[in-house]
């Protein structure tokens, strides 16, 4: 991809903030003023602007975070607020901006980048692929059969909020694709703007086993009640799942249903006696391997698996990812080095989906996205086996 000499990319200046926030708000359909708040929450140091022939043309931001794979948090840049002014669309500004951002992230030692796409096709051109699912569920409260009251659900005090983070981290370690949330995301869960967060910790003999944070709308005469919004939920045991369901179901005298974000096989639905849930929307996060060998070295693996994956990777955007790499996996970790036989031929996009567990190697072969002998597909499937990835957070 050739360099555009008429496009300048870099940090924003003080005078740029308001016009860039206005540009991005218009491009992404944000309400007036909300993009300004979002960029301030992220931090101006993580916001970048693009100028074409000296005029502000587009902007982008990234959030330092992590993603959990194989029980390890892998350093990740969450890309957000990607917008191009209407008059500059179709002029290669967006593509150049994203490539320059990926180069910057590589220089800053981010193995991964993730985003939610406005258009999937565009981000696939830059090496991103669908790699984790965010599913919204809805269920009537009177369809919940749980009646667990033998363990405690207690209101969370400010001093207890650190315990919620610890419970979440335990769940995230055993999942795939959950974010290692930065402070700005936790603030949104614990103290959301314009709504009260009702926070409850589930305790057994004083030990935390889960929590739930929910939002509820006020009663409006002659209007149907809005759903109970489960803002964040985490359960580490069957009893905690049942207690959370009971707590939510106890609102059925004033509310009809609840909504929440969950996993492809969600424990709140699995624990219920009947299949009363509806999946109302599913939206995939996209992942980009910014540095292939660093990404494989950073994540975790099943401790009992020993394998050697010999890859030949094709990347049209980031040249350092092109070529052959040997991934040696043992004792739950991996060592990577250049070279090898290149038994597994794969493009960097498909590799991202397999890396996360969103796509298995055999599924990739079924859609013509990988070339490898049967034995090497089996070995890769074993080495990267794990739960289907999901991501409760939006950014």
Name the percent of the chain lying above pLDDT 90: 93
The residue out of 127, 152, 179 marking a domain boundary is 127
pLDDT 10s digits, 157-201 = 988 999 999 999 999 999 999 999 999 999 999 999 989 999 999
**Rounded CA gap, 225 and 71, in Å?**
40
> Which of 232, 257, 282 is the last residue before a domain boundary?
282
Does residue 356 fall inside a structural domain? yes
Does the pLDDT at position 4 exceed 70?
no
298 φ, ψ (degrees, to nearest 5):
-85, -30
Q: Are residues 152 and 232 in the same domain?
A: yes
Which range is least confidently modeled, 37-46, 154-163, 228-237, 288-297? 154-163
145 and 267 share one domain: yes
pLDDT above 90 (res 209): yes
Task: Let me know whether 173 and 209 are in one domain.
Answer: yes
Query: Of 258, 282, 306, which residue is a domain's last?
Result: 282
| Domain span at 278 | 135-282
Q: Is the pLDDT confidence value at 48 over 70?
A: yes
pLDDT at 217: 85
Name the percent of the chain lying above pLDDT 70: 99
Q: How far apart are CA 263 and CA 391, in angstroms?
A: 8
Shared-domain flag, residues 31 and 110: yes
Are 278 and 299 found together in one domain? no
Looking at the structure of the chain, the number of domains it has is 3
Determine, yes or no, domain membership for 64: yes
Average the pLDDT over 212-219 and give the result: 91
The per-residue pLDDT for range 85-140, each reduced to its tens digit, is 999 999 889 999 999 999 999 999 999 999 999 999 999 999 999 999 999 999 99
Q: Which residues are 102's β-sheet partners?
A: none
Q: Tell me if 389 is assigned to some domain.
A: no
In a domain, 1, yes or no: no
- Could you tell me the CATH number of the domain that includes residue 361? 3.30.1050.10
Shared domain check, 321 and 269: no
3-state secondary structure of 33: coil
pLDDT value for 222: 82
User: Are both 170 and 248 inside the same structural domain?
Assistant: yes
Average pLDDT over residues 295-322: 97
Has residue 165 been placed in a domain? Answer: yes
Q: Could you tell me the pLDDT band of residue 3, with boundaries at 50, 70 and 90?
A: low
What confidence score (pLDDT) does residue 50 get? Answer: 97
Residues 139 and 121 in one domain: no
Do 72 and 155 reside in the same domain of the chain?
no
pLDDT band for position 355 (50/70/90)? very high
Same domain, 184 and 218: yes
Q: What ranges make up the beta strands (E) of the chain?
A: 7-11, 47-52, 55-69, 72-84, 112-115, 129-140, 152-155, 179-180, 198-204, 207-215, 228-235, 257-262, 278-289, 307-314, 323-330, 333-338, 344-347, 370-371
Within-domain flag for 56: yes
CATH of the domain at 151: 3.40.630.30
Note whether 37 and 116 are same-domain residues. Answer: yes
* Cα gap 122→127, rounded to integer Å: 9
d(CA 28, CA 46): 18
As a whole number, mean pLDDT of residues 12-19 equals 94
Residue 317 predicted with pLDDT over 90: yes
Q: Is residue 234 part of a domain?
A: yes
Q: Is residue 312 part of a domain?
A: yes
Q: Do 301 and 276 sit in the same domain of this protein? A: no
To the nearest whole number, what is the mean pLDDT of the chain?
96
Query: Using 50, 70 and 90 to split pLDDT, how confident is the model at 255?
Result: very high
pLDDT at 276 over 70: yes
Over range 131-150, report the average pLDDT: 97
Please tell me whether residue 142 adopts helix, strand or coil conformation.
helix
């Amino acid at each position: 991809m050739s360099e555009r000499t008429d496009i300048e990319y870099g940090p924003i200046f003080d005078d740029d903030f308001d016009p860039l926030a206005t540009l991005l708000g218009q491009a992404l359909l944000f309400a007036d003023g909300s993009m300004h708040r979002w960029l301030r929450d992220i931090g101006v140091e993580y916001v970048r602007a693009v100028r074409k022939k000296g005029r502000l043309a587009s902007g982008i931001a990234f959030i330092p975070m992590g993603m959990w794979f194989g029980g390890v948090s892998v350093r990740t840049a969450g890309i957000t607020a990607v917008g191009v002014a209407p008059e500059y669309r179709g002029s290669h500004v967006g593509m150049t901006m994203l490539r320059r951002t990926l180069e910057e992230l590589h220089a800053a030692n981010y193995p991964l980048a993730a985003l939610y796409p406005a258009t999937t096709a565009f981000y696939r051109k830059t090496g991103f692929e669908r790699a984790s699912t965010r599913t919204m569920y809805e269920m009537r409260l009177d369809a919940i059969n749980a009646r667990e009251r033998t363990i405690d659900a207690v209101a969370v005090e400010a001093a207890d909020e650190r315990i919620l983070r610890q419970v979440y981290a335990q769940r995230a370690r055993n999942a795939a694709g959950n974010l290692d949330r930065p402070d700005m995301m936790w603030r949104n869960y614990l103290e959301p703007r314009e709504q009260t967060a009702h926070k409850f910790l589930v305790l057994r003999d004083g030990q935390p086993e889960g929590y739930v944070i929910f939002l509820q709308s006020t009663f409006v005469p002659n209007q149907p009640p809005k759903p109970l919004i489960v803002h964040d939920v985490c359960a580490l045991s069957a009893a905690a799942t049942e207690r959370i369901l009971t707590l939510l179901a106890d609102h059925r005298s004033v509310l009809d249903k609840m909504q929440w974000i969950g996993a492809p096989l969600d424990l709140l639905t699995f624990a219920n006696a009947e299949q009363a849930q509806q999946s109302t929307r599913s939206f995939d996060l996209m992942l980009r391997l910014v540095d292939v060998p660093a990404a494989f070295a950073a994540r975790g693996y099943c401790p009992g698996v020993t394998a050697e994956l010999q890859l030949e990777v094709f990347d049209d955007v980031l040249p350092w990812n092109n070529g052959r790499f040997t991934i040696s996996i043992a004792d739950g970790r991996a060592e990577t080095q250049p070279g090898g036989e290149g038994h597994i031929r794969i493009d960097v996009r498909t590799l991202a989906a397999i890396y996360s567990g969103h796509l298995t190697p055999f599924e990739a072969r079924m859609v013509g996205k990988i070339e490898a002998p049967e034995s090497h597909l089996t070995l890769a499937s074993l080495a990267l086996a794990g739960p289907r990835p999901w991501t409760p957070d939006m950014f």
